[in-house]
Structure 1
Amino acid sequence: MKYLLLSFALFIGGLSHATEPLSGPAPDFTLKSRDGKNIRLSDLRGQVIMLNFWASWCGPCRQEMPLLDELSKRYSRAGFTLLGVNVEQDTAAGEKYLQDTPVSFPILWDPTSTVSKLYNIDAMPSTVMIDRDGNMRYLHRGYKPGYEKDYKKQIKELIRE
């Protein structure tokens, strides 16, 4: 029941889109990636970073994932890195989803929600845009078709800086 209520709260939170400007340094972290390597955020300094927090049970996350993969492929050569941060305690559900919907960008596992808490994530999906200097610039809560237009605009803006 507790997980059902949390899922519902996160789903409801994902229904309203709020793009918020952010400022300040992005909290550094290291998480294990899907391929078993540790990825440290600060090692990516100099890149525009998109952190996308998601879960396999989240309908909007599932809808958004293929669109994120397109963004990753389109802008990666321009200094853009997308990191998908799966927030589920059991990574098996995330793995199963990714077998059915493969993506080319790194997937990181946050089973204890350590990084989610660092970034005060309170809706699924949530996306944080980080500039080349390691500063948080934008936060997106939720996803509905069309939000990727905002992502493209912000990616281009941050790449040009």
Structure 2
Amino acid sequence: MKKTIFLVSFTLLLVSVGSVAQVKKELKGVLENINKFKKVSYKSTNFFCYPGDTVPMTGEKVNEFYLEYYMSLDTMVGAAYAKFDWSDTTKVLIGYDGNKQYKIDWEEYAFFKRDYYPNSFPFFARSRAVIEYVLNTNDSVVVDREVDSRFIAYHISIFNERIEFAARFPCYINEPGSNIGVVSEYTLWVNRKTWLPYKFKRTLPGNTIIDEISQLKNSTEDPGEFNMADYIPEDMKLWVGNSRDTLNFSDEILNTIVHNWHLCDINKQYHNLIEESSKVYMIGCTSLFCGPCKRSVPFLKELYSLYSNKDFSFVSLYKEEERKGVIHYVKDKDIRFDILLAPQSTFDSLKVSFTPTFIFLDEEKRVKRIIYGFTPGKTEAEIKETIKELL
């Protein structure tokens, strides 16, 4: 493969102005082509892996079908969309209409909607966000331009920042400690024939996301207004669990006794719930792929040091397929509190619809309270107050 590389830095000016101008001109052209779309559909093949690796953490790639509608005035995502499992494109899983995100649970035959921005993003909306950032940022950025007869790959390195393009605007992630030396890496592959992106890669410390689309169908004609009601059966139940307008099936288990489990930790040692003898026991249902979950870790480490196991203790539950990633994460973050690996059936028995979810049990293993999500400061206070009330 013929490979030509131009280093482009908008803040360090490592190369000539002409090279910078060339990259900007090309990316503006890509952006203009994306913005011509009114409606697109495509197959998305995506997965998480370790930085420098191409093997999915969960052992398999995810195949999904997307309908994506361009919305220039939407400041959060820039698009409305519906996501389906590739194996059944008649049942929408997640959707966003420009006002609310929808999530559909076909087994429970129910859906929920919420006001805050989605946690799943379509390919072209995310590609658009990255290009707009590169063209307009004052951050320290270097662009590597790799040229092939079939594509041009733009390797984007952002220095001393953890940046996630989780919506139309970049999300600056402030984890404990300094971001000095951290590099956020993005690569966008552009087809030289269509001058459109078809593959996206994001690498942050800890994990990489790779997303490649195929079977693209696009329309520049006005498709009309996107309406999530077209994808939700009229008799499907709307679930509203609490003031956050979220689907909280976990509320069903309040005041019930949690069944004993026999779960393995990362060292392959088994643990039984019935053996836990604390007055208050907290189950944290979490995931490596959940930003709020990761933000809760420093607080959980603090909790671990504050209480004796006789009064209060807790465990974080990850899914079994995350084992390899969890081992790496625990070592990297020096986590000392208990972590167990659970099958999907355990999460289902706890009626957990999203992460993080914190479930509080008394000595009889009866569910006394459930806290959803994690907002630094607010959720920390809620958890501490709950422990105080139950002790």
1:56 match: 288
Does the aligned pair in 2 maintain the 1:11–1:123 contact within 8 Å?
no
Tell me what 2:257 maps to.
25
CA shift, 1:73, in A, is 1.6
Q: Which amino acid aligns with 1:32?
A: C
Cα 1:103–1:35 change in 2 (3 A) is same
Asked whether the 8 Å contact 2:285–2:357 carries over to 1, the reply is: yes
Match of 2:302 among 54, 58, 70: 70
Residue 371 of structure 2 aligns with which residue? 140
- Write the letter of the residue equivalent to 1:121: V
Looking at structure 1, the residues matched to 295 and 94 of structure 2 have their Cα atoms a distance apart, in angstroms, of: 16
Alignment of 1:76-95 (within 5 A): 76-87=308-319, 89-95=321-327
- Mapped to 1, the partners of 2:300 and 2:63 lie a distance apart of 26
* Greater share of residues in strand: 2
Counterpart AA for 2:355: M
Count of residue correspondences: 155
2: CA distance, partners of 1:50 / 1:3: 35
User: 122, 127, 140: which is aligned to 2:358?
Assistant: 127
* Structure with the higher helix share, 1 or 2: 1
Q: Distance in 2 between matches of 1:33 and 1:64?
A: 20
Alpha-carbon distance between aligned partners in 2 of 1:138 and 1:84, rounded to the nearest angstrom: 16
Of 268, 284, 300, the residue aligned with 1:36 is: 268
1:32 Cα offset (Å): 0.3
Q: Which moved more, 1:2-11 or 1:45-54?
A: 2-11
Q: TM-score scaled by structure 2?
A: 0.36
Structure-2 separation of matches of 1:7 and 1:95: 30
Q: Which amino acid aligns with 1:142?
A: G
Structure 2: gaps (5+ residues): 1-43, 45-61, 65-82, 84-92, 96-102, 104-117, 121-243
User: Aligned pair 1:156/2:384, yes or no?
Assistant: no
CA–CA separation in structure 2 for the residues paired with 1:88 and 1:158: 30
Offset from partner CA, 1:18-74 (integer Å, 9 cap, x none): 796921112221100123211111111443111001111110000001101211221
Q: Report what 2:329 is aligned to.
A: 97
Would the aligned equivalents of 2:284 and 2:316 in 1 still touch at CA under 8 Å? yes
Question: What secondary structure is seen at the aligned counterpart in 2 of 1:68?
Answer: helix
Amino-acid identity (%):
21
1:62 counterpart letter in structure 2: K
Which residue of 2 is the match for residue 114 of structure 1? 345
Q: Which moved more, 1:132-141 or 1:19-28?
A: 19-28
Q: Select the structure of larger CA radius of gyration.
A: 2
Deviation track 1:105-161 (CA, whole Å, cap 9, x = no partner) reads: 110011x312111101101111100011211011122111120111111112222xx
Q: Which moved more, 1:16-25 or 1:52-61?
A: 16-25
AA aligned opposite 1:40: N
On the 8 A contact 2:278/2:313 being kept in 1, the answer is: no
Corresponding residue SS for 1:127 = strand
Residue type of the alignment partner of 1:76: S
CA contact (8 A) 1:29 1:41 kept: yes
- Give the Å deviation of 1:17: 8.3
Structure of higher RCO (CA pairs closer than 8 Å, 6+ residues apart): 1
**1:77 to partner: Cα distance:** 4.7
Contact 1:55 1:88 in 2 (8 A): no
